Chains A and B, each alone.
Chain A
Amino acid sequence: DTAVSQTPKYLVTQMGNDKSIKCEQNLGHDTMYWYKQDSKKFLKIMFSYNNKELIINETVPNRFSPKSPDKAHLNLHINSLELGDSAVYFCASSQGAQGGKPQHFGDGTRLSIL
């Protein structure tokens, strides 16, 4: 009965490959997020969806393409992976898109590019 679940937990792949990360939440929240956390632990917002609609798209290379088939799922596809993409990617959800709502995070996907 995990609230926010991400798969896979670890992803090791070579430069140039394409990979996807999946996220599902069973909290009934209407807003989902993707964050990137680098080695210095800085949490950087990448995307946010509210009721399947993209509402936040920070300065992220267009190799990253999010997709939300329904409000309980938010996936992230990455094309042509680069060394700098190595990081931990967290999915999160909240009820409401306005700031100030507590966010619930998944366990993260540790992406390593060889």
Chain B
Amino acid sequence: GQQVMQIPQYQHVQEGEDFTTYCNSSTTLSNIQWYKQRPGGHPVFLIQLVKSGEVKKQKRLTFQFGEAKKNSSLHITATQTTDVGTYFCAAPSTPLVFGKGTRLSVIA
């Protein structure tokens, strides 16, 4: 079945540094979703990317969908302590297939 590989599994950064997580699929995706889960919280939908090569921004977060629609990335500029959490990508399938997540720690 559909799988998405997410790297890295963990990332520790100093506050103010940038952070990127990558999501890769062996098959072409019709779209990809990103979720954020704060420690002790629940996954929260961030965004959905649909078009090949699409780039969307939400404040310091930049989401990209690859030209071949097989990979995606989430980049955070100048991380803050509020960015701490686990970021999941999710591929469209029935059910939705979640990556294993990237756990981000931000050191103040």
Contacts and interface: CB of A to CB of B under 8 A. Distances in A.
Contacts of B42: 90, 105-108
Contacts, number: 56
Contacts of B37: 41
A99 B44 contact: no
Nearest to B42: A105
Interface residues of A, number: 24
A90 B101 contact: no
Contacts of B91: 99
A102 B94 CA distance: 12
B45 to A, nearest CB: 4
A55 B88 CA distance: 24
Nearest to A97: B94
Given A41-B86, A42-B100, A99 B43 contact: no
Contacts of B100: 40-42
Interface string A42-58: 11010010000001100
Interface of A is mostly: loop
A68 to B, nearest CB: 15
Contacts of A48: 94-95
A104 B31 CA distance: 17
Interface of A: 33, 40-43, 45, 48, 55-56, 90, 92, 94, 97-108
13 contacts: A43-B43, A48-B94, A48-B95, A90-B42, A94-B96, A98-B92, A99-B96, A99-B97, A100-B96, A102-B48, A105-B42, A105-B43, A108-B42
